[in-house]
């Protein structure tokens, strides 16, 4: 069967295969045509892991339009992290949403001119990948917290996702390094959380005019001075995990704002490692996980 694009015959020893585009099409379709016999899921995996370069630039968006004359390099091996932004990594992307793994030190959205934030970084990514959309914040992570976040590509999708947040997000879990020795293998923290004018969230066991919040935790590993916990948000309130860990006298390492005495100037040891959602358009149940930062394990020693 005659193809719509020409390419050289790849060799078995090639680490990366090079193809020239002859007719405009979507990047995912192009990869599937070039790699005869590859499944759609495997082709998506190649893109998600940064295995496709268009004219020397990594492209992960499945529907990115490749144009005649462009050169596409395809590798089945994941690209080194340096090929991606130093501030984030795209975990999943389609025409409606994008899921990223954010590094600490990056705001969820802009606060003042020139702030380093995910919205601006994603908007630049959309321009670079010729997408006519902008990033819309669906939920937030603290600046010093790392991990998984989802952004919508339109205000309509954003509104659909936030209208019933508990139905949209089916699972959201964090890992935290906290101070001290845990007396129990698991636990549950409940309180009312209220934001103050001093930008500090206060917690109360009785209704203080704030919002009711519930966090569950499970001990993953116990060290001499620190414990590694898996935490699940039953509700999603501002600073919820940080305040609840302070409530039980095990503040998150590095969180001087809520009582950590352990190197409060370092990165905060809180990472959103799991996110599961019901897709706002397709209705598909989707889930992602990202590795625990090596820094956490180093601090356990």
- Determine phi and psi for 208, rounding to 5 degrees: -110, 15
* Catalytic hit among 142, 247, 255, 262: 142
Cβ atoms < 10 Å from Cβ of 223: 13
Q: Which residues are CB-contacts of 190 (< 8 A; sequence separation ≥ 6)?
A: 205, 212, 213, 214
Q: How far is CA 217 from each of CA 74, 139, 168, 227, 267, rounded to the nearest angstrom?
A: 42, 21, 22, 11, 21
Task: Give the integer Cα–Cα distance in Å for 123 and 105.
Answer: 18
Cβ contacts of 259-264, under 8 Å, gap ≥ 24? 260/179, 261/179, 262/179, 262/225, 262/226
Catalytic residue check, 142: yes
Beta strand pairing call for 270-278 and 146-152: parallel
Beta strand pairing call for 285-289 and 186-195: unpaired
Beta strands across the sheet bearing 71-74? 17-20, 71-74, 52-54, 57-58
Tracing tokens 């600046």 back to the chain, one arrives at 143
Annotated catalytic residues are 142
């Amino acid at each position: 069967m005659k193809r719509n694009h020409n390419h050289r015959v790849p060799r078995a020893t090639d680490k990366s295969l090079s193809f020239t585009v002859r007719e405009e099409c979507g990047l995912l379709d192009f990869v599937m045509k070039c790699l005869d016999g590859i499944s759609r899921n495997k082709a998506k995996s190649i893109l998600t892991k940064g295995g496709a370069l268009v004219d020397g630039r990594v492209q992960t968006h499945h529907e990115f339009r490749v144009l005649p004359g462009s050169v596409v390099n395809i590798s089945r091996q994941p690209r080194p992290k340096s090929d991606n932004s130093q501030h984030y990594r795209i975990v999943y992307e389609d025409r409606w949403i994008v899921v990223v793994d954010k590094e600490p030190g990056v705001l969820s959205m802009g606060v003042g001119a020139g702030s380093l934030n995910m919205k601006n970084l994603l908007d630049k990514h959309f321009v670079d990948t010729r997408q006519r959309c902008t990033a819309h914040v669906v939920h937030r992570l603290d600046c010093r917290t790392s991990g998984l976040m989802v952004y919508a590509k339109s205000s309509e999708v954003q509104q659909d996702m936030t209208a019933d947040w508990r139905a949209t997000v089916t699972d959201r879990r964090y890992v935290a390094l906290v101070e001290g020795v845990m007396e129990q293998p698991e636990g549950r923290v409940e309180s009312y959380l209220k934001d103050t004018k001093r930008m500090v969230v206060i917690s109360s066991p009785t209704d203080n005019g704030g919002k009711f919040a519930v966090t569950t935790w499970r001990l993953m590993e116990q060290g001499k001075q620190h414990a590694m916990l898996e935490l699940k948000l039953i509700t999603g309130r501002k600073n919820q995990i940080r305040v609840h860990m302070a409530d039980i006298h095990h503040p998150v390492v590095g969180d001087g704002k809520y009582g950590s005495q352990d190197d409060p100037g370092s990165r905060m040891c809180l990472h959103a490692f799991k996110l599961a959602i019901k897709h706002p358009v397709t209705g598909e149940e989707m889930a992602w996980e990202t590795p625990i930062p090596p820094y956490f394990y180093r601090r356990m020693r």
